[in-house]
Amino acid sequence: MYELHYPTLSLIVAIVNGVAILVMLALWHINRDVPGPGVWTVAAVCSGLGFLAVIMRPALGVFISPVNNSLLVGAALLHIEGLLRFKRMPQARGRWGWWAPVMGLVVLLSSVYATDARMRYGTLDPVVACVLLATAVLLLQHTQGHWRALYGTCAVFVALAGLALVVRATLSWQSPPGTPMQDHPVMGLVFLLLLTHNLAWICGMSLAVNLSVQERLQQMALIDPLTGLANRRQLDSFAAQALRRAQRHGDHLAVVLLDLDGFKGLNDRHGHAAGDGVLREVAQRARQATRETDLVARLGGDEFVVVLEASSPQAVQAAVARLRSTLDASPLFDGPPTPVGISMGVACFPEDGDNLVALLREADGRMYGQKRERASITQAPHSGPEPA
């Protein structure tokens, strides 16, 4: 049977927690706009202070147990709070109403059994194990794809640490009163799993924040910031895939090019804020008129593109008519009467082309034909007898 060398363990714990604090502090400093790392930094500090209390056992005396356990359980609860914020789950002030009773129970049990390690492990370990297992479950909630792989790996180490505490609690209840639990062989396993859980949490959450930032940057590269629509890069990718699907299944596809009439006059008369509002209104109406499987994109300026997938020419016509009706439902500008309209050009696969460039060229020609037709109507001279 082996014995734990507590000075060595204390040194290892001090190093690990020092690294954890520095990593989380750097993570929070670099990603201050990401919710979660700030709370995890506080958790790392609490965990470090909790293990520091173990090193300062001679100075703290009977207060070692309440101080150590409350700090470590507080760190575990802060892990959950940070995770809830990072996964952008609804924040409720009532959560603190749950945390406070848990902390009160931990302080109470630690104080009552401050000098009885067997009872302390037997009563406190199940509480901490529940917190850790709840963290593991929360990690796996609402996750998919690469997030499931990352969170799942982290959840395994968190759950193993919780199960180790369950085992220690069980052994504590089975041991006779007065048993020196600190010398039990299972203590080494519990320490190892808790230390591994700490390292896994640091690595897992650092990777999670990095992945979140990468996804946000990727989304920014594909989304028009003003309207929230797809940009040209996403349009090219979506159209290429949609055309392949249409070719494979023998379906039809329409590319609708939209351009605002009188938009420059609106900007000159009412300012760019009014123009931005009209652009957002067009984007919202176009989204309302299309399905989730279609794509609405902004090419730039006052030009938009809608890609409609359909099974027949009749379905394409119905979708285009619905889009036209929704766009013309009411004035685009909520202010003084301003002549702002929308010209539309439609090109269809396979009749008008088999790639996005060809379809956009055809739709552009038809759109400007519509513009010329409207201009000729509005500029036509008043018919009547010639003056003598």
What does the pLDDT look like over 274-310, one tens digit per residue? 889 999 999 999 999 999 999 999 998 899 999 999 8
**Which of 106-110, 282-286, 376-380 is the least confident region?**
376-380
Q: Are residues 90 and 168 in the same domain?
A: yes
Taking CA atoms, 336 is separated from 266, 276, 331, 378, in Å, by 10, 16, 11, 20
**Structure tokens, 84:** 């809830």
What is the CATH classification number for the domain harbouring 26?
1.20.1070
Distance separating alpha carbons of residues 261 and 40, to the nearest angstrom: 52
Q: Are residues 30 and 164 in the same domain?
A: yes
109 lies in some domain: yes
227 lies in some domain: no
Q: Are residues 154 and 263 in the same domain?
A: no
**For residue 13, what are the domain limits?**
6-222
Please state, rounded to an integer, the average pLDDT across all residues of the chain. Answer: 86
383 lies in some domain: no
Domains in the chain, number: 2
Tell whether the model's pLDDT for residue 74 goes beyond 60.
yes
- pLDDT of res. 138: 93
Tell whether the model's pLDDT for residue 5 goes beyond 70.
no
Burial class, 213, CB count within 10 angstroms (exposed 0-12 / middle 13-18 / buried 19+) = middle
Q: Are residues 201 and 57 in the same domain?
A: yes
**Which of 126-130, 254-258, 366-370, 382-386 is the least confident region?**
382-386
**Structure tokens, 58:** 């001679």
Distance separating alpha carbons of residues 208 and 77, to the nearest angstrom: 19
Distance separating alpha carbons of residues 294 and 272, to the nearest angstrom: 29
Distance separating alpha carbons of residues 338 and 332, to the nearest angstrom: 9
1 lies in some domain: no
**Structure tokens, 197:** 């859980």
Highest mean pLDDT among 83-97, 215-229, 237-251, 374-388: 237-251
388 lies in some domain: no
- Residue-wise pLDDT for 215-272, tens only, equals 888 888 899 989 999 999 999 999 999 999 999 998 999 999 999 988 888 888 888 8
341 lies in some domain: yes
Q: Are residues 242 and 313 in the same domain?
A: yes
- Residue-wise pLDDT for 334-365, tens only, equals 766 667 888 999 999 999 999 999 999 999 99
Helices (H), 175-271: 186-222, 232-249, 263-270
> Which residue, of 201, 222, 243, is where some domain finishes?
222
What is the CATH classification number for the domain harbouring 341?
3.30.70.270
Q: Are residues 237 and 167 in the same domain?
A: no
> Which residue, of 189, 222, 255, is where some domain finishes?
222
Q: What predicted TM-score, i.e. pTM, was given to this entire model?
A: 0.71
Distance separating alpha carbons of residues 318 and 345, to the nearest angstrom: 15
Distance separating alpha carbons of residues 279 and 277, to the nearest angstrom: 5
386 lies in some domain: no
Q: Are residues 20 and 148 in the same domain?
A: yes
Distance separating alpha carbons of residues 149 and 158, to the nearest angstrom: 14
- Residue-wise pLDDT for 186-201, tens only, equals 777 888 888 888 889 9
The DSSP secondary-structure symbol of 224 reads -
User: Which one-letter amino acid corresponds to residue 179?
Assistant: T
**Which of 38-42, 208-212, 292-296, 376-380 is the least confident region?**
376-380
Helix (H, G, I), strand (E, B) or coil at 309: strand
